[in-house]
Amino acid sequence: MRSILALAAVALVAGSFIGPVSAKLPPLSDEAKAKAAEAAARSAWTEKVGAYKMCLSMDRVAEVYRTSSRSLGKDAPAPVTMPPCADPGPFVPITPTQNKPLEASGAHSPPGNAGTPPSTKETSSEKTGTPK
């Protein structure tokens, strides 16, 4: 009898937590999506840098082993041919696209400020080839 009551109490407590946990979160904003993409790109680059440094250290350890074996008069095994260590280079951050005005005057432009002025004075209808 006690086990049935204890089981019912556990089920009641667990059921009270299901409602708040299953609540739906609001969709991410564009800024949050850009930050998440930037974090994912930085994480992938960090993993590549770690693999590159590990490759370099393994090459150094193998070379020290071969030279120390030769200095002791032992025959060191021939090095195994491996692909060279690939340097990932510096991290290149993802830059979001900025909304530039389509026309020189800024009329009929998308919302938001332009980071740089438009490169030409031609209108959007001239760019697309459609009549005014």
> H or E element: which one contains 125?
helix 124-128
**Average pLDDT over every residue of 3-9:** 69
Name 109's Cβ contacts closer than 8 Å, sequence gap at least 6: 99, 100, 101, 102, 103
Residue 108: the pLDDT is 58
Radius of gyration of the chain (CA): 31
Pairwise pLDDT comparison (78 vs 99), residue with the higher score: 78
At residue 85, does pLDDT exceed 60? yes
Residue 132: the pLDDT is 66
Name 93's Cβ contacts closer than 8 Å, sequence gap at least 6: 38, 41, 42
Q: How confident is the model at residue 23 (pLDDT cuts 50, 70, 90)?
A: confident
Residue range 102-122, pLDDT digits in tens: 555 555 555 566 665 656 667
* Vertex 51 angle, CA 50 and 54, to 5°: 85
Contact 65, 79 (CB under 8 A): no
Contact 130, 102 (CB under 8 A): no
Residue 116: the pLDDT is 59
Residue 53: the pLDDT is 96
Pairwise pLDDT comparison (70 vs 13), residue with the higher score: 70
**Average pLDDT over every residue of 125-130:** 75
Residue 84: the pLDDT is 92
Helices then strands (H, E): number in the chain?
A: 3, 0
At residue 42, does pLDDT exceed 70? yes
